Chain A
Amino acid sequence: AALKQGLRSQVSAALKEGRVTPTELCQRCLALIRSTKFLNAYITVAEETALKQAEESEERYKRGQPLGILDGIPIAVKDNFNTTGIETTCASNMLKGYISPYNATVVQKLLDRGAVLLGKTNLDEFAMGSGSTDGVFGPVRNPWSYSKQYKEKCVPESHSENEESNWVITGGSSGGSAAAVSSFTCFAALGSDTGGSTRNPAAHCGVVGLKPTYGLISRHGLIPLVNSMDVPGILTRCVDDAAVLLGSLAGHDPKDSTTIQDDFKPFELPNLTDVSKLSIGIPKEYHAPGLSSEILTLWSKAADLFRNAGAKVVEVSLPHTRYSIVCYHVLCTAEVASNMARFDGLEYGHRSDMKDSTESMYAATRREGFNDVVRGRILSGNYFLLKQNYEKYFVKAQKVRRLIANDFVKVFRSGVDILLTPTTLSDAALYTEFIQEDNRTRSAQDDVLTQAANMAGLPAINVPTALSERGLPVGLQFIGRSFQEKQLLTVAKWFEKQVQFPVIQLEEVKRHDSGVFQHQKSASFS
C-alpha cells in the first residue's frame, strides 16, 4: 500500500506523477481516521482545513510546482503544539476550547512545505505520563490490539469480552501520535519527548520514534513541561521518513533562544553496507530490574547482529543510570511547578467563576482545570523548591544531572559511536493492568531506559525490532552523540533493514485498500 511505503520511495513519487492526488490521499486518511475512531488517537480532526490544504497542494502539483517532498503529505500533530485556528487542549480541562492565535514553529515549517495537517492527537494530560491514559478525552488504544498478529495470540475467551478488555495501551505520552502513524491514518506525526514520551509509544506501537538533540529543533509553540529537557519528537513508519522530517524541522529559530545557531544541513541517509568501522556500546546498567527476558534476548541478538556484521561491540558502563529517574523526578517537577504557573484563567484557558480575590480565582481555576497528576507534580515541585529544600533537592539533582551527562561523555570519548539499549521494559500492557498503579509509579518504571538521554540532551531513536510472544511490537533504542543525527539515523536505518519488522495487519486498513494502494507484505522499501 502506498500508505505503508516510505515517503520518498512511493508516495512522493506517486504524487508527483499524478498516480494519486493530494485530495485523494487526504480523503483516504480522513476516512481511515473515521473508521478507527475507537482508537481515540485524535482529539481534533481538522477535516475542512485539511481538505483545503490538500486542494492547494493539488493545484501546485498540477502547475508542476510542488513545494518539496512533503507537499500534500498528511501529518498529525500532538495536542500540546499550538496550531492557529485549531483547538489546542493538552488533553486538559484547563485548555478545553483554547484556540491558539499562532502556530508552533515546527507546525509552521510543515505547513510552509505543503504538509496537510489532519488533526491533533491525544496524549496524557499536559504530556505527563507514560501510557496516554490520563487525558480528559480518555485513553488511546494501541492499534496492535486489533491486529491479526495480536488476536492470533490471545487466549480464546468469549468474543465480546475479548474486544473490550483485551486492548493494550500505546505507551506515552505521545500515544495518539504513535497510534495515528501505526494505524496508517497519517504518514508522520509530531510528538514531544521529555523523558521518553516519543520513544516509549513508538516502541509499543511499532513505529520509528526520534528524539533529536536538545537545541536542534525549535520548541517555540510547544507548550512547555521541562524547558531544559523538552524536545519535539518525530514519529514515522521508517527511518528514512524520520530523516526527511528532521531535515524540514531542524535549525535555529530566533523565537527559541535555546536552539543552537549553527547551520543545519538536511541530509539523505546513505545505505550503509559496511559496519566494520562502527563501535557499538552496550551499557550494562540498562539491564534494568524488570526488563523482560524477551527483550533481553532481543537486545542480545541485536548486539550479535552488529558483531557478526563486523562492528566492534563493547560493554560499557554508565554508572549513574539508576539515579537518572530520581534526578528527573526532581528536576521535572520543579520545572513543571514553574511552567504550570501561567495557567491562572486570566488570559486564556479555563477560568473559574470565583470572584472573591485574584488568588482565590487562580486557586479555583487551577483546582477545576488540572487533573491529579498535574496537581501532584506541581505540589512536589514546589516542595523541592522551598528555601529549606532547594539545596538538598533541586541543586543536588542538578549536580547529579552533570554526573549523568558526564557518564555519556566519557563513553563516547572512549571511542564508542552509538549506544544500543532496550526502549521499554516489556511489550505494551493491558489497559486494565496498567491503571492498577498510579501515574507517578508507572512513569518512574517506564521512563527508566529512555530518560537519561533527555538528561544529557542526546539524540535517541526507537527502531521497531520484532513482535513479542503476545504478538505486540518491541523496539530497541539507539543513542548517539550530540548533534550527530546523521550517524545515528544511518545506523538505525541499517538495523531496520536487517530486522524487517512486520507490517501490522489491521482489518480497517485492508478495507480501505483499493486501486490507489497496492498491498505489500514487507515493511522494507528499497
Chain B
Amino acid sequence: QKVSVEVLDQLEHLALVDFRDSEGVERLQKAIQFADQLQEVNTDGVEPMDSVLEDRWCLYLREDDVTEGNCTKELLDNAREKVEEYFVAPPGNIPLPTLEERETFLQGS
C-alpha cells in the first residue's frame, strides 16, 4: 500500500529534508517494499541486538576529569554566523510551514 501524503508530510517535518520530486517518493516506496521482506523471517524468541560487542564489553563511565577543551576559537571558526562566543540561529519556536504553505513537491498531492 502507498504511503499517505500525511505521513510523507510528517517525514519531511521530522527529517527536515524534502522529497524533492516524484522520484523521491518512489524511492521511499521501493525502500519500504524492500524492507518488507524482513517479515518472512521467524524471529520468535529472538532478542534484538544493539551491538556486536554486547558480550565483550559494557559501556563504561570514565572519571569526570577535564582532559581537553579550551578550543572556543577553533570551534567558532567553522560557523558562518556568530556573535562573540555565540552561534547565531534564526528565531526558534516557529514550526515549519504546513504543507499548503511551504514549498514542497507534496503540495497538491
B95–A370 CB distance below 8 A: no
B17 CB contacts on chain A under 8 angstroms: 363, 366-367, 370, 375, 378-379
In the complex, per-residue mask of B39-54: 1 if CB is within 8 Å of any chain A CB, else 0: 1110100111111110
Contact indicator A397/B38 (Cβ below 8 Å) = yes
Contact with B along A346-359 (1 / 0, CB 8 A): 11110100111111
| In contact, B35 and A393 (Cβ under 8 angstroms) | yes
Name the residue of chain B whose CB is nearest to the CB of A396. Answer: B38
Minimal Cβ-Cβ distance residue in A for B76:
A347
How many residues of chain A are within 8 Å of chain B by beta carbon? 68
Given contacts A361-B89, A396-B43, A403-B43, contact A378 B38 (CB under 8 A): no
Chain A residues with CB under 8 Å of B77's CB are: 99, 101
Interface size class of B (residues with CB under 8 A): 35 or more
Cβ-closest chain A residue relative to B67: A254
**Which of A47-55, A115-123, A322-330, A462-470 is near enough to bind chain B?**
A322-330
Say yes or no: is A395 at the interface (Cβ < 8 Å to chain B).
yes
A402 at the interface (CB under 8 A from B): yes
**Interface set, chain A 368-411, CB cutoff 8 A to B:** 370, 372, 375-376, 378-380, 382-384, 386, 392-393, 395-403, 405
Q: Verify if A457 is at the interface (C-beta below 8 Å from B).
A: yes
For residue A353, which residue of chain B has the nearest CB? B80
Cβ-defined contact, B16 with A358, below 8 A? no
CB of A215 within 8 Å of the partner chain: yes
- The residues of B that contact A130 with a CB separation of less than 8 Å are none
Segment of A26-34, A155-163, A255-263, A300-308 in the binding face:
A255-263
A166 within 8 A of B: no
Query: In the bound complex, how far is the Cα of B41 from the Cα of A258, in angstroms?
Result: 29
Does A376 contact B38, Cβ atoms closer than 8 Å?
no
Establish whether residues A360 and B97, one from each chain, have CB atoms under 8 Å apart when the complex forms: yes
Contacting residue for A326 out of B34, B91, B94, CB 8 A: B34
Contacts A261-B57, A348-B78 hold; do A399 and B46 have CB atoms under 8 A apart? yes
- Option from B3, B16, B49, B51 in Cβ contact (under 8 Å) with A362: B16
Q: How far is the CA of A254 from the CA of B68 in the complex (A)?
A: 12
Given the complex of chains A and B, what is the CA–CA distance between A98 and B89 in angstroms?
19
A261-308: which residues lie under 8 A (CB-CB) from chain B?
261
Does A246 reach chain B (CB closer than 8 Å)?
no
B94 CB, nearest partner CB in chain A, Å: 4
**Also in contact, A346 and B89, with CB within 8 A (given A363-B18, A367-B18, A399-B47):** yes
Q: Are B96 and A359 in contact (CB under 8 A)?
A: yes
Residue of B32, B48, B75 touching A398 (CB-CB under 8 A): B48
A440 to B29, CA, bound (A): 12
Residues of B within 8 A of A147 (CB): none
The 10 closest A-B pairs by CB, nearest first: A457-B52, A398-B48, A357-B94, A101-B74, A399-B43, A402-B49, A348-B78, A380-B31, A399-B46, A351-B80
11 further A-B pairs in the complex, CB-CB below 8 A; given A228-B51, A372-B24, A386-B7:
A101-B75, A101-B78, A323-B41, A333-B31, A348-B78, A359-B92, A379-B11, A380-B32, A380-B35, A393-B38, A397-B38
